[in-house]
Amino acid sequence: MNCKTRSFRLAAILLIVALIVPLVAAPPAFSKVPSMTGFTQSLDESADREPFEVEPQKVPDPLEKLNRGFYHFNDKLYFWFLKPIATVWGAFVPLGFRVCIRNVYHNVLFPVRFMNNLFQGKFRAAGTEISRFAINTTLGVGGMFDFAHTQYGLDPREEDFGQTLGHYGMQPVAYLNWPILGPSSVRDTIGSAVDTFLNPLTYILFFGVDDVGVSMGVRGGLMVNNTSITLGEYEDFKKRALDPYVSLRDAYLQNRARDVAR
C-beta separation of 107 from 137 below 8 A = yes
pTM of structure: 0.80
What pLDDT, on the 0 to 100 scale, is given for residue 26?
32
pLDDT value of position 2: 65
Domain parsing of the chain, residue ranges = 3-261
Q: What pLDDT does 43 receive?
A: 38
Q: What is the pLDDT along the chain (262 residues), one digit of tens a residue?
A: 566 666 656 555 554 444 443 333 333 333 455 466 666 543 344 444 554 555 667 899 999 999 999 999 999 999 999 999 999 999 999 999 999 999 999 999 999 999 999 999 999 999 999 999 999 999 999 999 999 999 999 999 999 999 999 999 999 999 999 999 999 999 999 999 999 999 988 887 776 655 556 667 778 889 999 999 999 999 999 999 999 999 999 999 999 999 999 8
Q: Report whether 111 contacts 126 (CB < 8 A).
A: no
How confident is the model at residue 18, as a pLDDT?
Answer: 42
Write the DSSP assignment of the chain as a string of letters: --HHHHHHHHHHHHHHHHHHGGG--PPP--SS---SSS-SS-GGGGTTS-TTSSPPP----TTHHHHHHHHHHHHHHIIIIIHHHHHHHHHHS-HHHHHHHHHHHHHHTHHHHHHHHHHTT-HHHHHHHHHHHHHHHHTTTTTTS-HHHHTT--------HHHHHHHTT----SEEEETTTEEEEHHHHHHHHHHHTT-HHHHHHHHS-S-HHHHHHHHHHHHHHHHHHSTTHHHHHHHH-SSHHHHHHHHHHHHHHHHHH-
